[in-house]
Structure formats: structure tokens, C-alpha cells
Amino acid sequence: MPHILSQKIRSWFIATNSAERVWMMASIEFKLRYYENKLGLMWALIKPVSQIVMYYLVFQVLMNQQVENYVIYLFVGLLLWQFFTEATSGTVKILQTKKYLYEYTNMKKIEIYLASMISSAIGLFFNLLIFIFGAIIAGVYPTYHYVFFVLIFTNLFLLSFGVSLILSNLFLLFKDITQIWGIVVGFGFFLSPILYRGDLFSSKLPLLDYLNPIAGIINNTRNILIYSQPPDWSMLMFDLTYSLIIFLIGFVLLKKYSPKASELI
């Protein structure tokens, strides 16, 4: 088994040009998203900044929530949540928008997804740099715990990938999945500890910590990036397993429905 796997990886990077192609498509998509117009990159900054100002006013000033360093606290939540929604909502229609790529038989459909996911990941990476910069200004300095973020990121990537596989293949059968997902995302924003204190969230709604994998991911990221703590390992293991199952379901759906994509759309 490891032998087959290593051969697969080898063929991906050396024998074929898949890896190169995925990266190229990801960077083209990233450019389309952010450099489309002159305001593009500015807009990418204005959006989170205005959100932070708004939430800060409501939750810290008006409701007096008393979270230390609320700005960078918010930033972590918004950053992860934005990646998740962008990666999932942005790919619901991927089998429709990228239909033009089906005509190439030596290109696998999963590459199309991967490119889009990576393009969102580049966005997350840029935001993360801004975060680190902002955190230093606020007096929170990077520690070796930041290394653990690789695990959390892998977890989030896998989860978003899985959800996007599921949604986009369901889209082939139900075109209104776009609207339905919009509602789910709307609920999800308030059912994740983005705006309010994670400990309150966990004690009042303990079930949601487990139902909503994003909750654990956000709490753990804060442990790592703000509180200089290792992640809550049992939570991390739970979320990883959760994400892996979601991904596998998505993968099965992809195998089952995507070959018919160009007929169903």
C-alpha cells in the first residue's frame, strides 16, 4: 500500500503535469478573484476591516463582552470562517462553471477542485500574514505553538474540500442547493464562536462543539495563535476524523455523479 501511494505521488509530480497544472489554475483563479479590478486587493482588506470595526462596536462596546484583545480574537474567527465559506460557497457551482474543462480526458475532475481550494488557501495565507502583523502590534508575539497551525489548517482544508465535493455534486441533482447552503452558512456564522467567547459557547452549547466542526477549529486556532497553548488534542482528533468522513462522503459522491456532470447541467 505505501508503495502504491508513493508511486501515485511520484506520477503526479513527475510523470504527469498535474501538480504544475493545479498550481497554475489556482494562481489564475486567485488573480481573477483579487486582481480583477484595481480595487480588488483593497477590497479584500476593506471587507474584514469593516467587519471587525462593526463587530467590535456591537460586541465589545455595546454589549461589553470583555474579551481581551478582541480585535485579534475576532480576526482569527473571521479569517477561518471566510476561508470556509469562500471555499464551499465558491465551489457549489464548480461543475457548471468549469464545464469547459471536461473535454480534456487526461485531466481529473478532482484537480479542478484542488485548484479552487488552493486559490482560497492563498487568500487565507495572506490574511494570516496580516494577522501576525496585527497581533504583534497588539502585543501578542508568535511562539513555537504556531507550528501546530499546520495541523489545524490541514483539518480545515480537508473539511472544506469535503463539503465542497458534497455540495457541488448535490448541485447536479438539486439546483437550489446554492440557496439552501446560503441559509446554512448564515446559521453557521452565529453557531460558531466567531464573535463571542469560546468558553461561554462551549459551556452553554456543548453539543455544538461537536456538531459544528468549525467551532473546534476556531477554538484551537485561538489557543495556538493567541494564547500560546498547544491545541486541545482530543478536540483536534475529533474534528480531523469528522473532516475525513465528510471528505470520504464527498469523494464517493464525486465518483458517482461527476462523470455525468456534463449531461446533468
Partner 1 sequence: MENPVNSISSPVAIKVSNVNKTFQLSDIKTDTLKGKLFNLFVRGNSRKLKALQNINFNILEGENFGIIGRNGSGKSTLVKIMSGAYIPDEGGEIFRNGSSMLLNLGVGMSHELTARQNIYVSGSALGLKIKDIDNIMGHIIEFAELQDFVDSKIKYFSSGMIQRLSFSIAVHAKADIIFLDEVFAVGDAKFRAKAIDILEKSMIEKRTIIMVSHSLANIEKYCKRALYLKNGEMAFLGDSKTAIAMYNKDND
Q: Does 118 bind partner 1 (CB under 8 A)?
A: no
Applying CB under 8 A, among 67, 71, 107, 151 the residue interacting with partner 1 is 107
Applying CB under 8 A, among 14, 66, 103, 144 the residue interacting with partner 1 is 103
**For cell 480585535, what's the residue?**
71
Q: Does 33 bind partner 1 (CB under 8 A)?
A: no
Torsion of the alpha carbons at 226, 228, 234 and 240, rounded to the nearest 10: 60
Q: Does 136 bind partner 1 (CB under 8 A)?
A: no
Closest approach, Cβ 240 to partner 1, in A, equals: 30
Closest by CA position to 149, among listed 85, 229, 242, 81: 229
Applying CB under 8 A, among 37, 64, 66, 105 the residue interacting with partner 1 is 105
CA distances from 35 to 43, 44, 94, 249 (A): 10, 10, 20, 34
Closest approach, Cβ 144 to partner 1, in A, equals: 37
Closest approach, Cβ 99 to partner 1, in A, equals: 9
Residues of 115-134 as b/e, b for ≥16 C-beta within 10 angstroms? Answer: bbbbbbbbbbeebbeebbee
Could you tell me if 87 and 164 are in contact, meaning their C-beta atoms sit under 8 angstroms apart?
A: yes
Closest approach, Cβ 212 to partner 1, in A, equals: 22
Distance in angstroms (rounded) separating the CA atoms of residues 153 and 136: 21
Closest approach, Cβ 183 to partner 1, in A, equals: 12
User: What is the DSSP track for 66-128?
Assistant: --TTHHHHHHHHHHHHHHHHHHHHTTTTHHHHTGGGTT-TTS-HHHHHHHHHHHHHHHHHHHH
Nearer to partner 1 (CB atom), residue 203 or residue 262? 262
Nearer to partner 1 (CB atom), residue 21 or residue 197? 21
The site string for partner 1 over 37-76 (x = CB under 8 A, - otherwise) reads ----------------------------------------
Q: Does 260 bind partner 1 (CB under 8 A)?
A: yes
Instruction: Tell me which residues touch partner 1 (CB under 8 A).
Output: 16-17, 20-21, 24-25, 28, 32, 98, 100-107, 173-177, 180, 259-260, 262-264
